[in-house]
Structure 1
Amino acid sequence: MSLDSREFRNALGRFPTGVCVITANPDGYEPFGMTVNSFASVSLDPALVLWSLQNDSECFDAFAKAKKYAVNILSQEQMNLSNMYAKKGDHALDKSHYTLGRHGTPMIKGALTTFECDIWQRYEGGDHVILVGKVQSMVNSNNDKPLVFFSGKYRELR
Protein backbone atom coordinates (compact mmCIF):
# COMPACT_ATOMS: atom_id res chain seq x y z
CA MET A 1 0.00 0.00 0.00
CA SER A 2 1.31 3.44 -0.94
CA LEU A 3 0.45 6.47 1.16
CA ASP A 4 -0.14 9.89 -0.30
CA SER A 5 2.53 12.00 1.45
CA ARG A 6 0.31 15.10 1.75
CA GLU A 7 -2.57 13.08 3.18
CA PHE A 8 -0.16 11.36 5.60
CA ARG A 9 1.24 14.73 6.73
CA ASN A 10 -2.29 16.08 7.26
CA ALA A 11 -3.21 12.98 9.28
CA LEU A 12 -0.15 13.43 11.50
CA GLY A 13 -1.23 17.03 12.04
CA ARG A 14 -4.35 15.71 13.78
CA PHE A 15 -2.15 14.98 16.80
CA PRO A 16 -1.91 18.13 18.96
CA THR A 17 1.67 19.02 19.88
CA GLY A 18 3.57 21.61 21.77
CA VAL A 19 5.91 23.91 19.90
CA CYS A 20 9.63 24.12 20.63
CA VAL A 21 12.60 26.04 19.35
CA ILE A 22 15.71 23.89 19.34
CA THR A 23 18.81 26.02 19.86
CA ALA A 24 22.53 25.34 19.56
CA ASN A 25 25.86 27.08 19.05
CA PRO A 26 28.42 24.50 17.85
CA ASP A 27 31.96 25.57 17.02
CA GLY A 28 32.02 27.61 13.81
CA TYR A 29 28.36 28.70 14.08
CA GLU A 30 26.64 31.65 15.65
CA PRO A 31 23.80 30.74 18.04
CA PHE A 32 20.82 29.57 15.98
CA GLY A 33 17.39 28.07 16.45
CA MET A 34 14.70 26.25 14.55
CA THR A 35 11.06 25.60 15.34
CA VAL A 36 9.94 21.98 15.72
CA ASN A 37 7.00 20.05 17.05
CA SER A 38 8.71 16.65 16.91
CA PHE A 39 9.83 16.73 20.56
CA ALA A 40 9.17 13.78 22.90
CA SER A 41 10.39 12.29 26.14
CA VAL A 42 12.25 8.98 26.00
CA SER A 43 13.44 7.99 29.47
CA LEU A 44 13.42 9.19 33.07
CA ASP A 45 16.58 7.34 34.09
CA PRO A 46 18.71 8.45 32.43
CA ALA A 47 16.78 11.62 31.54
CA LEU A 48 16.50 11.43 27.73
CA VAL A 49 14.48 13.43 25.22
CA LEU A 50 14.34 13.39 21.42
CA TRP A 51 13.43 15.45 18.40
CA SER A 52 13.85 14.84 14.69
CA LEU A 53 15.59 16.88 12.00
CA GLN A 54 14.86 16.60 8.30
CA ASN A 55 17.90 15.42 6.31
CA ASP A 56 17.65 18.35 3.91
CA SER A 57 17.16 20.98 6.63
CA GLU A 58 19.16 24.19 6.35
CA CYS A 59 20.34 23.49 9.89
CA PHE A 60 21.42 19.89 9.22
CA ASP A 61 25.17 20.60 8.93
CA ALA A 62 25.20 22.76 12.05
CA PHE A 63 23.39 20.11 14.11
CA ALA A 64 25.74 17.45 12.68
CA LYS A 65 28.59 19.37 14.37
CA ALA A 66 26.67 20.07 17.58
CA LYS A 67 27.55 18.17 20.73
CA LYS A 68 24.69 19.74 22.65
CA TYR A 69 21.43 21.56 22.13
CA ALA A 70 18.56 23.07 24.09
CA VAL A 71 14.86 22.32 23.75
CA ASN A 72 12.83 25.46 24.49
CA ILE A 73 9.12 24.74 24.99
CA LEU A 74 7.26 27.88 23.92
CA SER A 75 4.37 29.66 25.61
CA GLN A 76 1.30 31.13 23.89
CA GLU A 77 2.95 34.54 24.11
CA GLN A 78 5.84 33.31 21.96
CA MET A 79 3.99 32.57 18.73
CA ASN A 80 6.09 35.25 17.01
CA LEU A 81 9.28 33.36 17.94
CA SER A 82 7.81 30.14 16.59
CA ASN A 83 7.06 31.84 13.29
CA MET A 84 10.43 33.60 13.15
CA TYR A 85 12.53 30.50 13.66
CA ALA A 86 10.36 28.39 11.36
CA LYS A 87 11.26 30.57 8.35
CA LYS A 88 13.72 29.34 5.78
CA GLY A 89 16.92 31.24 5.19
CA ASP A 90 17.71 32.75 8.59
CA HIS A 91 17.93 30.81 11.81
CA ALA A 92 20.37 33.12 13.59
CA LEU A 93 19.07 33.87 17.08
CA ASP A 94 18.28 37.48 17.84
CA LYS A 95 20.50 38.41 20.80
CA SER A 96 17.50 39.78 22.68
CA HIS A 97 15.73 36.39 22.50
CA TYR A 98 18.18 34.24 24.47
CA THR A 99 20.67 33.87 27.27
CA LEU A 100 23.35 31.21 27.66
CA GLY A 101 22.48 28.40 30.04
CA ARG A 102 24.64 26.68 32.64
CA HIS A 103 26.05 24.40 29.96
CA GLY A 104 26.61 27.15 27.40
CA THR A 105 23.65 26.49 25.14
CA PRO A 106 21.38 29.33 24.03
CA MET A 107 18.12 29.33 26.02
CA ILE A 108 15.04 31.22 24.78
CA LYS A 109 13.97 33.81 27.34
CA GLY A 110 10.47 33.26 28.71
CA ALA A 111 10.14 29.65 27.50
CA LEU A 112 7.86 27.42 29.59
CA THR A 113 10.72 24.98 30.07
CA THR A 114 14.19 24.68 28.62
CA PHE A 115 16.18 21.44 28.64
CA GLU A 116 19.92 21.71 28.05
CA CYS A 117 21.04 18.42 26.51
CA ASP A 118 24.21 16.66 25.46
CA ILE A 119 23.68 14.61 22.31
CA TRP A 120 23.46 11.03 23.54
CA GLN A 121 22.74 9.33 20.21
CA ARG A 122 21.73 9.98 16.60
CA TYR A 123 19.54 7.54 14.68
CA GLU A 124 18.60 7.43 11.02
CA GLY A 125 14.85 7.67 10.60
CA GLY A 126 13.86 7.72 6.93
CA ASP A 127 14.14 11.29 5.69
CA HIS A 128 15.04 12.51 9.20
CA VAL A 129 17.74 12.02 11.81
CA ILE A 130 16.51 11.47 15.36
CA LEU A 131 18.60 13.30 17.94
CA VAL A 132 18.39 11.86 21.43
CA GLY A 133 19.68 14.16 24.12
CA LYS A 134 20.67 13.48 27.70
CA VAL A 135 19.22 16.28 29.81
CA GLN A 136 21.96 18.03 31.80
CA SER A 137 19.84 20.82 33.28
CA MET A 138 16.41 22.36 32.99
CA VAL A 139 14.74 25.65 33.77
CA ASN A 140 10.99 25.94 34.36
CA SER A 141 8.88 29.10 34.34
CA ASN A 142 5.66 29.71 36.24
CA ASN A 143 3.76 30.15 32.97
CA ASP A 144 1.20 27.41 32.31
CA LYS A 145 -0.02 28.46 28.86
CA PRO A 146 1.75 26.37 26.21
CA LEU A 147 1.84 27.16 22.52
CA VAL A 148 -0.11 24.29 20.92
CA PHE A 149 -0.23 23.29 17.25
CA PHE A 150 -3.08 21.21 15.75
CA SER A 151 -4.22 20.66 12.19
CA GLY A 152 -1.96 23.34 10.74
CA LYS A 153 -2.90 26.09 13.23
CA TYR A 154 -1.94 27.39 16.64
CA ARG A 155 -4.50 26.58 19.32
CA GLU A 156 -5.17 27.43 22.95
CA LEU A 157 -5.81 25.03 25.79
CA ARG A 158 -8.98 25.87 27.65
Structure 2
Amino acid sequence: MSMSKLLKEFKEFAVRGNVIDLAVGVIIGGAFGKIVTSLVNDIIMPPIGMLLGNVNFTDLYFSLEPERTMVDGKHISLAQATDAGVAVIAYGQFINIMLNFIIVAFCIFLMVKGINSLHRKKEAPAKAEPTTKECPFCLSTIPVKATRCGHCTSQLVQEEAR
Protein backbone atom coordinates (compact mmCIF):
# COMPACT_ATOMS: atom_id res chain seq x y z
CA MET A 1 0.00 0.00 0.00
CA SER A 2 1.43 3.36 -0.99
CA MET A 3 2.01 6.11 1.55
CA SER A 4 -0.28 8.57 -0.28
CA LYS A 5 -3.16 6.06 -0.30
CA LEU A 6 -2.63 5.40 3.41
CA LEU A 7 -2.65 9.14 4.16
CA LYS A 8 -5.81 9.59 2.07
CA GLU A 9 -7.60 6.81 3.99
CA PHE A 10 -6.44 8.28 7.30
CA LYS A 11 -7.74 11.71 6.29
CA GLU A 12 -11.14 10.24 5.36
CA PHE A 13 -11.25 8.42 8.69
CA ALA A 14 -10.16 11.42 10.76
CA VAL A 15 -12.63 13.90 9.30
CA ARG A 16 -15.69 11.71 9.66
CA GLY A 17 -18.28 13.28 11.93
CA ASN A 18 -18.29 10.41 14.42
CA VAL A 19 -14.53 10.55 15.01
CA ILE A 20 -14.60 14.30 15.56
CA ASP A 21 -17.60 13.98 17.90
CA LEU A 22 -15.77 11.29 19.84
CA ALA A 23 -12.65 13.44 20.14
CA VAL A 24 -14.68 16.39 21.42
CA GLY A 25 -16.46 14.09 23.89
CA VAL A 26 -13.18 12.71 25.22
CA ILE A 27 -11.72 16.20 25.69
CA ILE A 28 -14.84 17.52 27.43
CA GLY A 29 -15.05 14.32 29.50
CA GLY A 30 -11.45 14.77 30.66
CA ALA A 31 -12.12 18.35 31.71
CA PHE A 32 -15.38 17.31 33.40
CA GLY A 33 -13.49 14.58 35.27
CA LYS A 34 -11.08 17.17 36.68
CA ILE A 35 -14.00 19.32 37.81
CA VAL A 36 -15.64 16.37 39.56
CA THR A 37 -12.32 15.35 41.19
CA SER A 38 -11.93 18.87 42.54
CA LEU A 39 -15.55 18.89 43.72
CA VAL A 40 -15.05 15.66 45.65
CA ASN A 41 -11.57 16.37 47.03
CA ASP A 42 -11.96 20.08 47.77
CA ILE A 43 -15.64 20.57 48.60
CA ILE A 44 -17.38 17.32 49.57
CA MET A 45 -14.71 15.38 51.47
CA PRO A 46 -13.40 18.13 53.84
CA PRO A 47 -16.76 18.62 55.62
CA ILE A 48 -17.28 14.85 55.80
CA GLY A 49 -13.77 14.44 57.20
CA MET A 50 -14.42 17.20 59.74
CA LEU A 51 -17.65 15.53 60.87
CA LEU A 52 -15.76 12.26 61.32
CA GLY A 53 -13.09 13.82 63.55
CA ASN A 54 -10.85 15.77 61.16
CA VAL A 55 -10.07 12.78 58.99
CA ASN A 56 -8.35 13.36 55.64
CA PHE A 57 -9.77 10.62 53.45
CA THR A 58 -6.87 10.72 51.00
CA ASP A 59 -4.55 9.81 53.88
CA LEU A 60 -6.50 6.77 55.08
CA TYR A 61 -4.74 3.49 54.50
CA PHE A 62 -4.30 0.02 55.87
CA SER A 63 -0.70 -1.08 56.24
CA LEU A 64 0.30 -4.59 55.29
CA GLU A 65 3.48 -3.99 57.33
CA PRO A 66 2.21 -2.26 60.51
CA GLU A 67 5.57 -2.28 62.24
CA ARG A 68 7.00 -0.03 59.50
CA THR A 69 4.22 2.59 59.72
CA MET A 70 4.65 3.54 63.37
CA VAL A 71 7.07 6.29 64.43
CA ASP A 72 7.10 7.30 68.09
CA GLY A 73 3.73 5.62 68.62
CA LYS A 74 2.04 7.51 65.76
CA HIS A 75 1.09 6.32 62.32
CA ILE A 76 2.97 7.94 59.46
CA SER A 77 1.10 9.52 56.57
CA LEU A 78 0.27 7.64 53.39
CA ALA A 79 2.86 9.67 51.46
CA GLN A 80 5.55 8.81 54.00
CA ALA A 81 4.56 5.13 53.97
CA THR A 82 4.68 4.88 50.18
CA ASP A 83 7.98 6.80 50.08
CA ALA A 84 9.38 4.27 52.57
CA GLY A 85 8.21 1.44 50.29
CA VAL A 86 5.65 0.08 52.74
CA ALA A 87 2.91 -2.09 51.18
CA VAL A 88 -0.39 -0.33 51.89
CA ILE A 89 -4.03 -0.50 50.87
CA ALA A 90 -5.05 3.13 50.29
CA TYR A 91 -8.78 2.78 50.94
CA GLY A 92 -9.22 6.52 51.53
CA GLN A 93 -8.21 7.28 47.96
CA PHE A 94 -10.52 4.48 46.83
CA ILE A 95 -13.42 6.19 48.66
CA ASN A 96 -12.62 9.47 46.87
CA ILE A 97 -12.45 7.76 43.48
CA MET A 98 -15.73 5.93 44.12
CA LEU A 99 -17.41 9.26 44.97
CA ASN A 100 -15.95 10.73 41.76
CA PHE A 101 -17.40 7.82 39.80
CA ILE A 102 -20.84 8.10 41.42
CA ILE A 103 -21.02 11.84 40.73
CA VAL A 104 -19.86 11.45 37.11
CA ALA A 105 -22.28 8.54 36.53
CA PHE A 106 -25.16 10.55 38.02
CA CYS A 107 -24.34 13.60 35.88
CA ILE A 108 -24.17 11.44 32.74
CA PHE A 109 -27.48 9.82 33.72
CA LEU A 110 -29.11 13.26 34.04
CA MET A 111 -27.60 14.40 30.74
CA VAL A 112 -28.82 11.30 28.86
CA LYS A 113 -32.23 11.59 30.49
CA GLY A 114 -32.46 15.24 29.39
CA ILE A 115 -31.38 14.44 25.83
CA ASN A 116 -33.89 11.57 25.63
CA SER A 117 -36.70 13.83 26.83
CA LEU A 118 -35.81 16.35 24.10
CA HIS A 119 -35.95 13.60 21.48
CA ARG A 120 -39.37 12.48 22.71
CA LYS A 121 -40.75 16.02 22.46
CA LYS A 122 -39.45 16.46 18.91
CA GLU A 123 -41.00 13.24 17.64
CA ALA A 124 -44.67 13.97 17.09
CA PRO A 125 -46.79 10.88 16.56
CA ALA A 126 -47.57 10.36 12.90
CA LYS A 127 -51.22 10.84 12.04
CA ALA A 128 -52.60 7.54 10.84
CA GLU A 129 -54.45 7.42 7.56
CA PRO A 130 -58.16 6.68 8.02
CA THR A 131 -59.16 3.09 7.32
CA THR A 132 -62.89 3.77 7.09
CA LYS A 133 -65.20 6.31 5.49
CA GLU A 134 -68.89 7.11 5.52
CA CYS A 135 -71.23 6.04 2.73
CA PRO A 136 -72.74 9.26 1.29
CA PHE A 137 -76.09 7.50 0.70
CA CYS A 138 -76.84 5.55 3.88
CA LEU A 139 -74.19 7.12 6.19
CA SER A 140 -72.88 3.69 7.26
CA THR A 141 -69.20 3.19 8.01
CA ILE A 142 -67.41 1.31 5.24
CA PRO A 143 -63.73 0.57 4.34
CA VAL A 144 -61.89 3.38 2.56
CA LYS A 145 -61.11 1.22 -0.48
CA ALA A 146 -64.73 0.07 -0.93
CA THR A 147 -66.30 0.75 -4.35
CA ARG A 148 -69.77 -0.34 -3.30
CA CYS A 149 -71.49 0.12 0.07
CA GLY A 150 -71.96 -3.17 1.89
CA HIS A 151 -75.10 -1.86 3.58
CA CYS A 152 -77.11 -0.14 0.84
CA THR A 153 -75.19 -1.56 -2.18
CA SER A 154 -74.82 1.91 -3.70
CA GLN A 155 -72.04 2.36 -6.25
CA LEU A 156 -69.42 4.70 -4.73
CA VAL A 157 -67.39 7.25 -6.70
CA GLN A 158 -63.64 6.72 -6.20
CA GLU A 159 -61.63 9.72 -4.95
CA GLU A 160 -59.05 9.25 -7.77
CA ALA A 161 -61.81 9.45 -10.44
CA ARG A 162 -63.03 12.85 -9.23
Bin the TM-score by the shorter chain.
under 0.3
Query: Which structure has greater helix proportion?
Result: 2
Rg bigger for which structure?
2
State the TM-score, normalized to the length of structure 2: 0.17
Higher relative contact order (CA 8 A, sep 6+): 1
TM-score (norm 1): 0.18
Higher strand share: 1
